[in-house]
Amino acid sequence: MAEITINVTSNRQGSIVKNGGASEDWDDVINASSGTTVSSSVTQSTPVRARRATDRGGNTSFNCSRSFFYFDCSSLPAGAVVSAGTFTVNGVSNAGVNSVVMTESNGAFGTNGGSALTTGDYDTAAFENQFSDTIRGSDTIFAWNSGTQNSGENDFQLNATGINKINNSSSPKKLNVALVNYNYDYSETSPSSSLDARNGIYFFTSGGFMPKLTLVYEISSYANTINGVTPAMASSFDVWQVNQVNLKGEDTPAASAVNGIE
């Protein structure tokens, strides 16, 4: 097995906030189609947030912030199959506020796979399924709801869903990650009284605090084609033979079973 560390793509990361209007309730805010991109900064104190406040004349106002991270996994070698992964983000104060990590593989931040985070990514198409009412939460990979955010590094181990998102992503392999508040945004529960639940985190920097993805992988000989000869194939002649037989339509064990790969 081998390991690779991938830093977040600098212009496809950041937070987007939706500030509710005077007559907008929590549902209006979390279901908005766009927000406002928060100006780029190394550290932000409110990139993941659920806020309810009473302001002028007894008016109730709501704010919601979500953070987004795009990882270009094209540096994985050809044939690499990811078996484990860790999303790491450095926390800045506000420990203990519940947030949840969500993943998606095939989209890209920026409208229609654009090159930079846009205001529409607040309810981005890349997370369309995750933010829908029907299967909301199905692609959750880890959450701060079972622990507390550290001021230092926070490691989120990708579950099978998250790993498969990378392995099954279209070329180039990629992973989109979102951080949203768990108790109010993800759970679609309106705060019943004034509160300001927020996580502070580090975004991309030239230093050592940038969000990153650490992947453990192995090269799958099963992924090789019969028409290309690679070092992996040269050392796995039996697998090459099975692939040949399969192409002829004979009833033989699957290559993965022969190779011991699940």
Tell me if 36 contacts another protein by CB under 8 A.
Answer: no
Residue with tokens 């037989």: 245
**Which residues fall within 8 angstroms of residue 251, CB to CB, at 6 or more apart?**
none
Give 163 or 197: the residue with its C-beta nearer to another protein: 197
By CB under 8 A, is residue 188 in contact with another protein?
Answer: no
- Distance set, CA 135 to CA 34, 128, 131 (Å): 21, 10, 8
Query: Nearer to another protein by C-beta: 49 or 212?
Result: 49
- Residues 216/194, Cβ–Cβ less than 8 Å: no
Q: How far is the CB of 94 from another protein (least distance, A)?
A: 8
Q: Is 174 in the site for another protein (CB under 8 A)?
A: no
Round to whole Å and give the CA distance between 137 and 131.
Answer: 8
Nearest CB to another protein, comparing residues 170 and 193:
193
Closest distance of CB 195 from another protein, Å: 12
Choices 17-25, 73-81, 173-181, 239-247 (CB under 8 A): range interacting with another protein: 17-25
The b-or-e profile of 161-189 (16+ CB within 10 A means b, else e) is ebbebbbebeeebbbbbbbbbbbbbbbee
Collapsed DSSP state (helix, strand, coil) of residue 66: strand
Least Cβ distance, residue 101 to another protein (angstroms): 22
Which residue in 1, 23, 112, 237 binds another protein (CB under 8 A)?
A: 23
Other CB atoms within 10 Å distance of the CB of residue 21 = 11
Binding to another protein (CB under 8 A): which residues in 194-233?
A: 194, 196, 198
H-state helical runs in 87-154: 128-131
Ranges within 54-93 binding another protein (CB under 8 A) = 54-61, 93
Q: Which structure tokens are listed for 157?
A: 């181990």
Judged by CB under 8 A, the stretch of 81-89, 190-198, 226-234, 247-255 that binds another protein is 190-198
> For binding to another protein (CB under 8 A), which residues are involved?
19, 21-23, 45-46, 53-61, 93-94, 193-194, 196, 198
